[in-house]
Amino acid sequence: MSILRPKIMTTLKGYTREQFIKDFIAGIIVAIVALPLSIALGIASGVTPEKGIHTAIIAGFLISLLGGSRVQIGGPTGAFMVIVYGIVLEFGIEGLMIATVMAGVILILMGLFKMGGIIKFIPYPITRGFTTGIGLVIFTSQINDFLGMNLKNMPVDFIGKWLLIVRNFDAVDGNTVLVGLVSLGIMVFWPRISTKIPGALIAIVITSIGVKVLGLPVETIGDRFGEISSALPTFSFPKTDLTTVRMLLLPAFTIAILGAIESLLSAVVSDGMLGTRHRSNMELVAQGTANIASGLFGGIPATGAIARTVTNINNGGRTPVAGIVHALTLLVILIFFMPLAKLIPMTALAAVLFLVAYNMSALSEMVELFKSPKSDILILWVTFVLTVVVDLVKAIEVGMILSSLLFMKRMASTTDIKLITADAGEEDEEERHAMDGFPSTREIQVYQINGPLFFGAADRFIDVLGKVHQKARVILLRMRYVSNLDITAVLALKRFVGICEHRGIILLISGIQPQPLEVLKKTRLIELIGEDRIFSQMEEALAYANEVIKREHHG
């Protein structure tokens, strides 16, 4: 059970005062980074600003306390924004609570069933496609606030949003755009001055003061949401029924998959920076626990945040204590300073999310992927387009199905079945001796199968072996390079055995590996072929074949 031990239990052994000071400072800096992001992501997800902070506090604390990574920082991220917004729109806050708790349960089950390593099998073009798509959707969702258009009842769909924006472009407010551009400018150029204090926080503070002092008619959080509560989140269990659970199962599963992907990817990145190893299954259990708690306290889905985790590492954080300090710092900010959030201009938050969208899109990586095989480019674009114009759930579904089909096609193309001629062994020192006894007649034909024999390659098996020469009396299938055999291939082989019996041809097999041999035994096909016709060496099989031909010639 050591694999399910929280990392804090091992990292605190030999913990020093010097490391605590580093973790403490790193935690405070990460909290400052997380503050504007949590507020912005809460609003963009369709909930109130404080919900984003509640999520960062509750989930961030539990992910650090129970997680399998020593430096993981948890909280709300842009990956969830699109799906969370859709759930809130259709099912309301209670529906979001149910979906978040369900996603947490799924994540815990994934961890308990040791599925931490399975996430790596999701192809990169899918993750790149939907994250870039989410980035574009986030960007589009913030244009209304950034330009101060004050459009109400924005359509849910991507194309509908853009049509409404274009038709109402004359509603753009100059003051709002100016404040938004100032925010963007500060965030872009501030890192040249300091990397310790995040540019997003500086942009929000400066624009908030500027709008208040100058009395600019720019919409703020207070204008839209009224007073911002500094009260602690309260526990409540959402009312639910079986119908709602069924309808939310797919969105909850998507939240769980996204959470697993992002948290484990973040853990891998941190491992690469520190030379450590995370416990993937424990991390999934922690992520699940954190999401259940977040949902029950009215928060939104959470996961490991790569940017905040890297910030933690760069500022000296080396144990989960830094993540706990980050959560407690946000708690202090919530209690004493949250009411001041009403002064933040909506356009400044939109600018923050513009930067989040840009970082998620990773346009340079998208360009690099165009050098990939055409099948990978197809998966990338299908996932990207479906994320943008349909929804994230369908994008992942279709992306995985398409990836699986293309993978099977690739695997099938690696399986090769060829006729071996008398001089086939000349280039293979190991086989030359076996081929010395190869007959020059067409009465014995040897077919070599290279690669796994599964349903994707079974048709090629029938096609090739169906072209056996009319004079053939013995067919030898050399299966030395067949690593796997599935039931479709077994049925194809059974059909071929029938063809051989019908034509009076003796079928031999040589060099069969353990897995295919076990399959032949379980399906009892070995009895149909005859155990005496299964040989470990090709030389033995050819000797048997020559004896058969000799008996027929002298019979």
Beta bridge partners of 418: 448
Is residue 425 predicted with pLDDT exceeding 50? no
Tokens of 82: 């699109």
Are 201 and 269 in a shared domain? yes
Out of 380, 406, 432, pick the residue that ends a domain.
406
Q: How far is it, in rounded angstroms, from Cα 280 to Cα 209?
A: 44
- Asked whether residue 460 is assigned to any structural domain, the reply reads yes
Q: From residue 77, give the alpha-carbon distance in Å to each of 84, 134, 357, 432, 481.
A: 11, 11, 11, 62, 47
Task: Report how far residue 21's alpha carbon sits from residue 400's, in angstroms, rounded to the nearest whole number.
Answer: 45
Res 427: pLDDT: 46
Considering the domain architecture, whether residues 395 and 423 belong to the same structural domain is answered as no
279/245 same-domain check? yes
380 and 504, same domain (yes or no)? no
| pLDDT tens per residue across span 51-66 | 999 999 999 999 999 9
Domain that holds residue 473: 415-554
- Domain co-membership, 400 together with 460: no
In this prediction, residue 96 carries a pLDDT of 96
Phi, psi angle pair for 392, to nearest 5°: -65, -40
Q: Which residues contact 148 (CB under 8 A, 6 or more apart)?
A: 172, 173, 175, 176, 177, 180, 218, 219, 347
- Please tell me the predicted confidence (pLDDT) of residue 422: 52
Give domain status of residue 462, yes or no: yes
Same domain, 477 and 339: no
Cα gap 112→192, rounded to integer Å: 45
Q: What is the pLDDT of residue 426?
A: 45
- pLDDT reported for residue 438: 54
H or E element that contains 446:
strand 444-450
In a domain, 6, yes or no: no
| 446 and 310 co-located in one domain | no
Portion of the chain with pLDDT greater than 90, in percent: 57
Over residues 498-531, the pLDDT tens digits come to 888 888 899 999 999 999 999 999 999 999 999 9
Confidence of residue 2 (pLDDT cuts 50, 70, 90): very low
Q: Which two tokens stand for residue 242?
A: 């079986």
Q: Measuring CA to CA, how many Å separate 187 from each of 201, 209, 354?
A: 9, 16, 11
Residues 325 and 431 in one domain: no
Which neighbouring-strand residues pair with 220? 345
User: Given this model, what pLDDT does residue 428 score?
Assistant: 53
Residue 8, helix vs strand vs coil: helix
Q: How many CB atoms lie within 10 A of CB 90?
A: 13
131 with 66, same domain: the answer is yes
Q: Is the same domain home to 402 and 427?
A: no
Instruction: Round to the nearest angstrom and report the end-to-end CA distance of the chain.
Output: 69
Confirm whether 93 is domain-assigned: yes
Give the whole-angstrom CA distance, residue 278 versus residue 349.
34
Distance CA 188, CA 203 (A): 10
pLDDT in tens, 93-147: 999 999 999 999 999 999 999 998 877 778 888 888 888 888 898 899 999 999 9
Q: Is residue 1 part of a domain?
A: no
Q: Are 315 and 196 in contact (CB under 8 A)?
A: yes
User: 278 exposed, middle or buried (CB, 10 Å; 0-12, 13-18, 19+)?
Assistant: buried
Domain end, chosen from 376, 406, 436, is at 406
Helix (H, G, I), strand (E, B) or coil at 241: coil
CATH number at residue 499: 3.30.750.24
- Which of 112-116, 362-366, 455-459 tops mean pLDDT? 112-116
pLDDT digits (tens, 9 = 90+) for 323-351: 999 999 999 999 999 989 899 999 999 99
Q: Tokens 């041999």, residue? A: 517
3-state DSSP helix/strand/coil % of the chain, to nearest 5 = 70, 5, 25
DSSP state of 317: -
Mean pLDDT, range 395-424, rounded to an integer: 80
Mean per-residue pLDDT of the chain: 88
Q: Is 276 among the domain residues?
A: yes
What average pLDDT does this structure show over 205-215? 95
Q: Please identify which residue in the block is written with the tokens 């030898």.
A: 476
- Per the confidence metrics, is the pTM higher than 0.85? no
Domains in the chain: how many in total?
Answer: 2
Residues 225 and 117 in one domain: yes
Predicted local distance difference test score (pLDDT) of residue 416: 80
244 CB neighbour count, 10 Å cutoff = 16
Tell me the C-alpha to C-alpha distance, in Å, between residue 226 and each of 147, 221, 327, 342, 418. Answer: 21, 7, 25, 7, 76
**Domain presence at residue 7:** no
* Residue that finishes a domain, picked among 389, 406, 423: 406
Domain for residue 10, yes or no?
Answer: no
Give the helix ranges, DSSP H, for 5-80. Answer: 8-11, 17-44, 49-66
Residues 43, 267 contacting (CB under 8 angstroms): no
Q: Are 321 and 55 in contact (CB under 8 A)?
A: no
Q: pLDDT of 160-201, one tens digit each? A: 999 999 999 999 999 999 999 999 999 999 999 987 788 888
Q: Which of 188, 200, 232 shows the shortest CA–CA distance to 344?
A: 200
Judgement on whether residues 402 and 469 belong to the same structural domain of the protein: no
47: tokens are 């909930």
Residue 207 and residue 213: Cα distance in Å, rounded?
10
